[in-house]
Amino acid sequence: MTKEFDLSQFETLDTAVLTVQDPRGDDLEVNGKPVTITLYGPGSKQYNKAKHVFENATQARAMAALRNKPVKNAAEQAAKDLAEFLAACTLSVDNFPVDALDIYTNPKLGYITDQVNKFLGDTENFLPPVQKK
33 belongs to a structural domain: yes
Domain range for 95: 14-126
What's the structural domain count of the chain? 1
132 belongs to a structural domain: no
Q: For 13-37, what is the mean pLDDT? A: 97
Whole-prediction pTM value? 0.88
6 belongs to a structural domain: no
pLDDT band at 2 (very low <50, low <70, confident <90, very high): low
Predicted local confidence at residue 129, as pLDDT: 85
Question: What DSSP string runs through 32-49?
Answer: TEE-EEEEE-TTSHHHHH
Higher pLDDT among residues 50 and 7, named by residue: 50
9 belongs to a structural domain: no
Distances (CA, A) of 67 to 61, 75, 78: 10, 18, 18
- How does pLDDT run across 42-61, given as a tens digit for each residue? 999 999 999 999 999 989 88
1 belongs to a structural domain: no
7 belongs to a structural domain: no
